[in-house]
Amino acid sequence: MRFCPYVQRAILVLVAKGIKHEVININLKNKPDWFFEKSPLGLVPSIETSDGKIVYESPIVCDYLDEAFPGVKLTPADPYEKAQQKILLEHFNAVTSALYKIWFATKDNKDTTELKAQFFEKFKKLEEALAKRKSPYFGGESVSMIDYMIWPWFERFGVFDVQEFLEKTPNINAWYKLMLQDPAVKKTFTEPDAHLNFFKLYSKDSLDAADYGLD
């Protein structure tokens, strides 16, 4: 699905590693029957290799792509560093949960002040982790798996109306600017307005949401 952040994770890894691929978009409001054979949980992303292997769940897909295919290695070889990236991802999962709570409240015309404060509490933990690392990226001196795993939500900050918090987290803000220059990020980038318009349609259960912006 063109606007799914979990899908973008997989595409970032495919692009960064230069893996030849074809994307089949699924309209999640109208899933074809065959889709459940390719993705038993009914979620995107799911990948199918040229020899028919199916892998789904974005962190598993990304790890599989990194391990099974040649190209730049995005996951650190050192087990402790690898564990650190997984821990950061768990922290980030709390951030995304907080973001979706804001979105649901906005959809229902509820006040989001408290939810935004809760989001910032969790977001600050990421800022502290990056500050402690003293490196430009979350995994060190160059882009790695954890950066791609978390990037898609930063592209969608406008949807959750939390852009102002980037100004309050200088290390993340510097990282954000660096990431905008990353070739895989540039290749998979969707303009903030398109994300917003998609989300507006999606909230109204529009069947055409997934096709937003196509002729």
Ligand X SMILES: N[C@@H](CCC(=O)N[C@@H](CS)C(=O)NCC(=O)O)C(=O)O
Q: Which is nearer to ligand X, 140 or 192 (CB)?
A: 192
58 makes contact with ligand X (CB under 6 A): yes
From 4, 7, 13, 99, the catalytic residue: 4
Position 141: which residue type?
Answer: E
What backbone phi and psi angles, to 5 degrees, belong to 137?
Answer: -110, 165
Q: What is the largest CA-CA distance in the chain?
A: 50
What contacts 174, CB < 8 A, 6 or more positions away? 136
Q: Which is nearer to ligand X, 58 or 112 (CB)?
A: 58
Q: Which is nearer to ligand X, 6 or 119 (CB)?
A: 6
Interface pick for ligand X out of 17, 19, 25, 28 (rule CB under 6 A)? 28
14 makes contact with ligand X (CB under 6 A): no
DSSP state of 165: G
115 makes contact with ligand X (CB under 6 A): no
- Shortest Cβ distance from residue 117 to ligand X (Å)? 25
Length of the chain: 215
Per DSSP, helices labelled H in the chain are: 5-17, 35-38, 58-68, 79-107, 113-133, 145-155, 157-160, 170-180, 183-188, 192-203
Interface pick for ligand X out of 2, 4, 92, 210 (rule CB under 6 A)? 4
**Is 62 an annotated catalytic residue?**
no
Residues that bind ligand X (CB under 6 A): 1, 4, 6, 28, 42-45, 57-58
